[in-house]
Amino acid sequence: MQIEVRLFATFRNGRWVSKKLSFDKAVDIRYVLNQLQIKEEELGIALINGKYSEVDNILKEGDILALFPPIGGG
């Protein structure tokens, strides 16, 4: 199974902007976070194909996963 992962803001530090990842089995967002060494509590929002998703949502072939840290400022 192949998905595209897009990282935003501080998640790009020392990583990449967009990358296709392959997995031997169906995985959820939590699994991808673990593979990227991003702690679940560091995640602000996750989108699958542009729609809000919980970390236990299962990804499908060809999905685009966008990961954002919490946004701060004023």
Host H or E run for residue 67: strand 64-68
Q: Is 17 within the bounds of a domain? A: yes
Q: What is the pTM of this model?
A: 0.93
Q: Is 50 within the bounds of a domain? A: yes
Q: Chain-centre distance of CA 16, in angstroms?
A: 12
DSSP 40: G
Question: What is the mean pLDDT of the segment spanning 42-55?
Answer: 97
pLDDT cut 90: percent of the chain above it: 95
pLDDT of amino acid 60? 97
Q: Is 35 within the bounds of a domain? A: yes
The C-alpha atoms of residue 69 and residue 44 are separated, in whole angstroms, by 4
Give how many domains the chain has, as a whole number.
1
pLDDT of amino acid 35? 95
Residue span of the structural domain in which 64 resides: 2-68
Q: Is the pLDDT of residue 74 over 90?
A: no
CATH (domain of 10): 3.10.20.30
The C-alpha atoms of residue 44 and residue 56 are separated, in whole angstroms, by 15
Q: Is 47 within the bounds of a domain? A: yes
Residue 73: pLDDT band with limits 50, 70, 90: low
Q: Is 74 within the bounds of a domain? A: no
Q: Is 7 within the bounds of a domain? A: yes
Q: Is 73 within the bounds of a domain? A: no
